Amino acid sequence: MIDVKNISIANFTYHLPNDKIALHPLQNRDESKLLIYKDGVIKEDVYKNIHQHLPKKSLLIFNDTKVIKARLVYTKPTGGSIEIFLLEPFNADYTSTLTSTKTCKWKCLIGGASKWKQNNLQWTISNGLVELMLIEKLDDAYVVEFSWTNEISFAEVLEQIGNIPLPPYIKRKPDENDTNRYQTIFAQHNGSVAAPTAGLHFTPAIFQNLSSCQIKKDFITLHVGASTFKPVKVAIMQGHQMHTEWIDVSIETIKNIIENINEPIIAVGTTSLRTLESLYWLGIKAHLNNAIKTLDLQQWDVYEEDLKNTTLTAKEALTVLINWLQKNKRTSLFTSTQLLIAPGYTFKIVHALVTNFHQPKSTLLLLVAAAIGDSWETVYNYALQNNFRFLSYGDGSILYMRK
């Protein structure tokens, strides 16, 4: 049994040349290259043919979060600039914050914070004014209060003053094309500051082909935070603080997963995978303590003895979770997960993962290694040697779990 806490991150790195990082999306989403890894064999195709590489009657789970314009650039009268990057609502949930009017607070990263003196920052918007006040400095960020004068939601405010938050490794300014392309075609719920990139390749034509092959789909919501790009900077994983993300899954979707539990369940993206696996463990928590009022998942929970020694099947755990939700008069599960998936983790629900190629020394690469073992090196070397494009705007893969 692998001791996850003592995994050395040095074993999960590779050389990623700058020219392998995709700085722009392809003209057509579904023309991205697709690497298929199954039973130790690697094949190549393109996303428009993904239906040919998925089992009939399988269930694909997508993340329908929507990227908000979370990057703000304020230009001072002197010519200097201050960049504000929204991380997450401060002491509030996404829905109430993004629909709020008049005022709200966000935890933010600030570039050029030393240039922000006592004066508030101001933007002019249609029929009004937006004002930003620096409230508090935290250990790793700042708290900024937004206030505005007209009766519109904060989401609408961001549409007017914000920019698409391209990842830090895409070293260029966002353009008009990014507004559409750094967003999935099925994005519904505002909240992410980074796209669930595995879903960027999917088109209406692909969905039609999936349906014709009796391949089903459903949706969960996980709001992707900027910390998804956070590299692991410690020698062993015990010292790494896994980022927390918010998930929202309806009872209907959980029931759909149960109905298809004997068919292949395929996560489109690492966010979908973390959400699906979190559902199992939250069901286990409810099983161990039916009177519990708040269900969430901390970084090391699933590696503790009381949880990992529980023998419930996926169907049983999900059924417990539904019963807990109904008992607490909820129609969906809205909570946080800090689940770290690394080699040594045993998958409970997911059979395969559709995903892009990830950064060296990242928790996402650890997740891939948990799925396919040491073969991650073979897969990544193949991709590097065969002109696959890497990271958010790059190509992708289907990785079937080790049996």
Q: What is the pLDDT of residue 63?
A: 98
Q: What is the pLDDT of residue 161?
A: 93
Closest listed residue to residue 330, CA positions, set 294, 377, 384:
294
Answer yes or no: do 52 and 110 share one domain. no
Q: What is the pLDDT of residue 140?
A: 83
Q: pLDDT band for position 115 (50/70/90)? A: confident
Q: What is the pLDDT of residue 13?
A: 96
Residue 308 lies in a domain: yes
Q: HSE of 271 in the Cβ direction (CA atoms, 13 Å)? A: 31
Answer yes or no: do 121 and 255 share one domain. no
Answer yes or no: do 50 and 94 share one domain. no
pLDDT above 70: residue 172: yes
Q: Which residue has the higher pLDDT, 169 or 140?
A: 169
Answer yes or no: do 43 and 90 share one domain. no
Residue 169 lies in a domain: no
Closest listed residue to residue 396, CA positions, set 205, 192, 195:
195
> What's the token pair of residue 139?
């250990």
Q: What is the pLDDT of residues 192-238, one digit of tens each?
A: 999 999 999 999 999 999 999 999 999 999 999 877 777 788 999 99
Answer yes or no: do 149 and 207 share one domain. no
Q: What is the pLDDT of residues 128-160, one digit of tens each?
A: 899 999 999 998 889 999 999 888 999 999 999
Which residue pairs, CB below 8 angstroms and at least 24 apart, start in 12-20? 12/360, 12/361, 12/362, 12/365, 12/366, 12/369, 12/376, 13/360, 13/361, 14/360, 14/377, 14/380, 14/381, 14/384, 15/360, 16/359, 16/360, 16/384, 16/390, 17/384, 20/384, 20/388, 20/389, 20/390
Answer yes or no: do 136 and 224 share one domain. no
> Using an 8 Å Cβ cutoff, are 31 and 48 in contact?
yes
Q: Give the Cα separation of 144 and 104 in Å (integer).
A: 9
Answer yes or no: do 379 and 265 share one domain. yes
Please spell the DSSP secondary structure of 22-81, one letter per residue.
-SS--SSGGGSEEEEEETTEEEEEEGGGGGGGS-TT-EEEEE-EEE---EEEEE-TTS-E
Answer yes or no: do 50 and 74 share one domain. no
Q: What is the pLDDT of residues 348-366, one digit of tens each?
A: 999 999 999 999 999 999 9
> Using an 8 Å Cβ cutoff, are 298 and 276 in contact?
no
Sign of the CA dihedral running 198, 199, 202, 208: positive
* SS3 assignment, position 347: coil
- Cβ within 8 Å of residue 284, ≥6 positions away: 307, 310, 312, 317, 320
Q: Give the Cα separation of 13 and 87 in Å (integer).
A: 27
pLDDT above 80: residue 283: yes
Over the chain, what is the mean pLDDT? 94
Residue 224 lies in a domain: yes
Q: What is the mean pLDDT of residues 256-281?
A: 98
pLDDT above 80: residue 403: no
Q: Give the Cα separation of 354 and 60 in Å (integer).
A: 9
Residue 168 lies in a domain: no
Residue 117 lies in a domain: yes
Residue 177 lies in a domain: no
How many independent structural domains does the chain possess? 2
Residue 167 lies in a domain: no
Answer yes or no: do 258 and 207 share one domain. yes
> Could you tell me the CATH number of the domain that includes residue 365?
3.40.1780.10
Q: pLDDT band for position 291 (50/70/90)? A: very high
> Which ranges constitute the DSSP H helices of 225-361?
251-259, 270-288, 305-308, 314-327
Q: What is the pLDDT of residue 1?
A: 58
Q: What is the pLDDT of residues 57-78, one digit of tens each?
A: 999 999 999 999 999 999 877 7
Q: What is the pLDDT of residue 242?
A: 86
Q: Which domain holds residue 130?
A: 70-162
Answer yes or no: do 253 and 387 share one domain. yes
* SS3 assignment, position 239: helix
Q: Give the Cα separation of 173 and 379 in Å (integer).
A: 31
Q: Which residue has the higher pLDDT, 80 or 307?
A: 307
Q: What is the pLDDT of residue 77?
A: 78
Answer yes or no: do 210 and 193 share one domain. yes
Q: Give the Cα separation of 279 and 258 in Å (integer).
A: 11
Q: What is the pLDDT of residue 227?
A: 73
Q: Give the Cα separation of 99 and 224 in Å (integer).
A: 18
Residue 174 lies in a domain: no
Percent of the chain with pLDDT over 90: 82
Q: What is the mean pLDDT of residues 336-340?
A: 94
pTM strictly above 0.85: yes
Residue 157 has phi, psi (to 5 degrees) of -60, -45
Q: Which residues of 33-51 are buried (b: 16+ CB within 10 A; e: fewer)?
A: bbbbbeeeeeeeeebbebb
Of 93-102, 271-280, 336-345, 375-384, where does mean pLDDT reach its minimum? 93-102
Answer yes or no: do 305 and 357 share one domain. yes
